[in-house]
A and B are shown apart, each in its own frame.
Chain A
């Protein structure tokens, strides 16, 4: 954890120093001036959420420790955040960006984090390379998921977006833009070495050798996105079940190998499309996350559409998340000595509980965005979520009175701004 923090600071300082190199910027040539040296932008959301279920918390990300429902009747932590960004155009080819975001983090604090800190070199007008902390644009709106103003909803559907809560990565990416007729296709490849992310309850996950490929095509009002991401992922600490399984010999070892999330190749494949001719929009996205562990294979998708009436954009979204496997035969207790059989049965029960409680849910959401002033919007949204059979869905902090597989209604209100 300390290494990561140190690296974050080194990155931020390196980018800042590079930004400070402006005296070396060449004199402007031609009649039109270069873009301004420094550009400051900021974005933010102030939001509140109410959940009908007081026995569990709804959060917008796995990285958050609590939310609306059990911990707070109304929670401002779910969607509120503030981000500030400094962009430096050092030469016409070289630029740097530093973005800090403050939002509720795993430790329930609002300590600002370095969201992006990277240096971009534009080799040709259509080919660039970036190094540093860069976005991880797995899904259609991944790169702008924290910028409420950029999206029609209060938050992107959690059935897809909460599967991959990471928004950035330390590494390098190459982006090449192709113009085929009137279509613009961007091919991007990203590589990251090691990245550690902290979750609540002293859990963390480490990803290494992250590789991602993204193909995005824009044609008039249509946008298509295909992506593939692969990384070796380790959950730290591991689930106590697995060392215990290993005590049971070869059969237990096999179970641990199958389900333990230690150095497993996790992959995400996604496909998305949106069409926005102005008066209305429609967007759909599908993704599959394969963890090759007890976390399972998650498949999420959503369909969303909206119609614009002057400054109002009412919308409807249907989203679903399924997971498999939800059970396991575990080790064959009858094949073990009597002294181990009882332990094996208990471990099998624990494994099945873990598998059975992976998030599965479906949500119908209705809401509206109102662009009531320049650079400001107000959104209201109602979510009706049906949890998968025996599943807590994406809810956390489950209390003894919580009903697995039940339904939950959310009411959200948010104001977004950019400047």
Chain B
């Protein structure tokens, strides 16, 4: 019974702790030929199922740091999945030696810099951080 109480308290805390949501968009370099991606295409790139854009050019996805609000919001919006679910997904891939999650950047500014400098790169940032060096594709 103590256990059940413990779980119920945990559940209540989890439900109460809804994080403030930011408006997150997926962006590529302004020099990239990519103009738009569908939700599934974007998901395939970030989940390591596709290593190229639909036009055949190589794609280099960049994740934001684990635990960051922008990362959680991105996966909630694109995959409908929580951070734990994405972690569980990658556990399956990592522990069969099939791949590793995308490299991470520490914040929106670094994401934007890496994306601006590399037409293959794709990342996600807060919409408020978008300027003319990057293009929104989703």
Chain B residues positioned under 8 Å from A126 (CB to CB): 51
Determine if A277 and B80 form an interchain contact, defined as CB atoms under 8 angstroms apart. yes
Residue B85 is within 8 A (CB to CB) of chain A in the complex: yes
Question: Which residues of the other chain, A, contact B89 by a CB distance below 8 angstroms?
Answer: 150
Given A32-B114, A184-B50, A377:B95 Cβ within 8 A = no
User: Which residues on the A side are within 8 Å of B117 (C-beta)?
Assistant: 31
Task: List B contacts of A144 (CB < 8 A).
Answer: 91-92, 95-96
Enumerate A172-191 residues with CB–CB distance to B below 8 Å: 177, 179, 182, 184
Q: Which residues of B contact A149 (CB under 8 A)?
A: 87-88, 91
A278 touches B84 (CB 8 A): no
Residues 11-35 (chain B) with a chain A CB within 8 angstroms = 11, 14-15
Q: Given that A39-B100, A308-B82, A310-B11 are contacting pairs, would A182 and B40 also be in contact in the complex, using a CB cutoff of 8 Å?
A: yes
CA distance A265 to B30 in the complex (A): 58
Known contacts A99-B95, A118-B97, A147-B92: does B51 contact A125 (CB below 8 Å)?
yes
Count of residues in A whose CB is under 8 Å from the partner chain: 56
Which of the segments A199-207, A295-303, A333-341, A367-375 contacts the partner chain? A367-375
Q: Mark B71-111, 1 if CB is under 8 A from A, else 0.
A: 00000100111111101110110111110100100000000
Name B97's contact: one of A99, A141, A146, A374 (CB within 8 Å).
A99
In the complex, the answer to whether A87 meets B100 with C-beta atoms within 8 Å is yes
Contact A30 to B83, CB < 8 A, known contacts A143-B92, A150-B95: no
A243 part of interface (Cβ distance < 8 Å) = no
A32, B44: Cα distance in complex, Å: 21
Q: Which residues of B contact A311 (CB under 8 A)?
A: 10-11, 14, 82, 84
Bound state CA distance, A401 and B44, in angstroms? Answer: 55
Known: A32-B121, A310-B15. A182 touches B87 (CB 8 A): no
B interface residues, Cβ below 8 angstroms from A:
3, 7, 10-11, 14-15, 38-41, 43-44, 49-52, 58, 60, 66-67, 76, 79-85, 87-89, 91-92, 94-98, 100, 103, 114, 117-118, 120-121
Chain A to chain B contacts (Cβ below 8 Å), 5 pairs:
A39-B100, A43-B95, A116-B96, A221-B80, A312-B14
- Given A278-B85, A308-B85, output 11 extra A-B contacts at Cβ < 8 Å: A31-B117, A147-B91, A149-B91, A150-B88, A182-B38, A221-B79, A276-B85, A309-B15, A310-B11, A368-B7, A370-B7
